[in-house]
């Protein structure tokens, strides 16, 4: 197993674990974290004995979304477009894993973190979890194939409303919309997910993989993600659009007060 700078990755028999390990940043998705997630997903595809992977985040929040400090610390090896495209590559790698994925959500699940959760097969959240998609307020479109994945889960009307208004919503609404499978009390989250993962891992791996593949194939026919290579172009354009940049500056100023 390779070492991942921003993740804790482990295997216990038929069960794997991917844990975001940036609790001081509320597990915000840096360039390195996105690369680590994609690499971990591909690594698990080589582990034929692993049937189910638990995805989680250390600390008080699952994931605070894309780490905006990435753009204040540019990497000469990555253009703006390259950086914008890493999220799509992560989403595709996680969504297409051979193993089933079950995500445990606590605290905040924001923007890119919500896209990550949406790429997992089953989603369990605490009753006090908070969700939002603030990209439009940040002056950028929701990319990383987030739009078609949300449309498939909650429908076009709800997707438009949540993405355009950027409002927060809780676990009960997320479940009513079809985004969550289960809501549990905060203290029960990991025990519940661990029991679910163990029960799935006890089932025949062939049937688990085939069911996932069949559902994913139908989902792609409903709203395909193949066209979303152009997401990076939309993101890169927003980084140079004056109105978008002004909106981003105003949003960040309001959050820093």
Number of H helices, E strands in the chain: 10, 9
Give yes or no for a contact between 169 and 162, defined as CB atoms under 8 angstroms apart.
yes
Nearest-Å Rg of the Cα atoms of the chain is 17
Residue 109's nearest CA partner among 22, 217, 2, 28 is 28
Rounded to 5°, angle at Cα 169 from 168 and 170? 135
Q: Which range scores top for mean pLDDT: 60-69, 169-178, 223-232?
A: 169-178
- Lookup: tokens for 168: 């927060």
50-64, 179-193, 207-221, 226-240: lowest mean pLDDT where?
A: 226-240
Query: Does the structure show a pLDDT above 70 at 67?
Result: yes
User: What CATH number does the domain located at 7-188 have?
Assistant: 3.90.226.10
pLDDT tens by residue, 123-165: 999 999 999 999 999 999 999 999 999 999 999 999 999 999 9
C-alpha–C-alpha distance, residues 225 and 95, integer Å: 11
pLDDT tens by residue, 10-23: 999 999 999 999 99
Quote the distance between the C-alpha of residue 140 and its chain's center: 17
Q: Give the count of alpha carbons within 13 A of 188, CB side only.
A: 12
Q: What was the pLDDT predicted at 235?
A: 81
Q: What was the pLDDT predicted at 1?
A: 62
Query: Does the structure show a pLDDT above 80 at 74?
Result: no
Residues ≥6 apart with Cβ < 8 Å to 134 = 65, 110, 111, 166, 251
C-alpha–C-alpha distance, residues 252 and 232, integer Å: 22
Residue 115's nearest CA partner among 148, 81, 138 is 148
Residue 141's nearest CA partner among 226, 254, 64, 244 is 244
Residue 59's nearest CA partner among 3, 7, 107 is 107
Query: Does the structure show a pLDDT above 70 at 257?
Result: no
Query: Does the structure show a pLDDT above 70 at 72?
Result: no
Buried (b) or exposed (e) across 39-57, using 16+ Cβ within 10 A? bbbebbeeeeebbbbbbbb
Mean pLDDT rounded to a whole number for the chain: 93
Q: What was the pLDDT predicted at 6?
A: 97
Q: What was the pLDDT predicted at 170?
A: 98
């Amino acid at each position: 197993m390779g070492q991942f700078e921003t993740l804790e990755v482990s295997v216990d028999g038929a069960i794997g674990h991917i844990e975001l390990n940036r609790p001081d940043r509320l597990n915000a998705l840096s360039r390195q974290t996105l690369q680590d997630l994609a690499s971990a997903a591909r690594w698990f595809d080589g582990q034929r004995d692993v049937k189910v992977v638990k995805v989680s985040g250390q600390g008080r929040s699952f994931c605070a979304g894309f780490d905006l400090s990435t753009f204040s610390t540019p990497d000469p090896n990555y253009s703006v477009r390259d950086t914008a495209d890493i999220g799509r590559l992560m989403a595709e790698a996680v969504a297409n894993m051979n193993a089933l994925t079950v995500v445990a959500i606590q605290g905040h699940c924001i923007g890119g973190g919500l896209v990550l959760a949406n790429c997992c097969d089953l989603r369990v959240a605490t009753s006090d979890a908070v969700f939002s998609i603030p990209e439009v307020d940040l002056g950028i479109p929701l990319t990383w194939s987030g739009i078609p994945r949300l449309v498939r889960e909650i429908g076009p009307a709800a997707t438009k409303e949540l993405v355009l208004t950027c409002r927060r919503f809780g676990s009960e609404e997320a479940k009513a919309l079809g985004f969550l499978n289960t809501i549990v009390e905060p203290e029960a989250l990991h025990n519940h997910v661990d029991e679910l993962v163990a029960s799935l891992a006890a089932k025949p791996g062939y049937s688990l993989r085939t069911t996932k593949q069949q559902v994913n194939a139908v989902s792609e026919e409903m709203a395909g993600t193949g066209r979303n290579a152009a997401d990076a172009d939309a993101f890169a354009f927003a980084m140079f659009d004056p109105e978008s940049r002004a909106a981003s500056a105003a949003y960040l100023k309001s959050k820093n007060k």
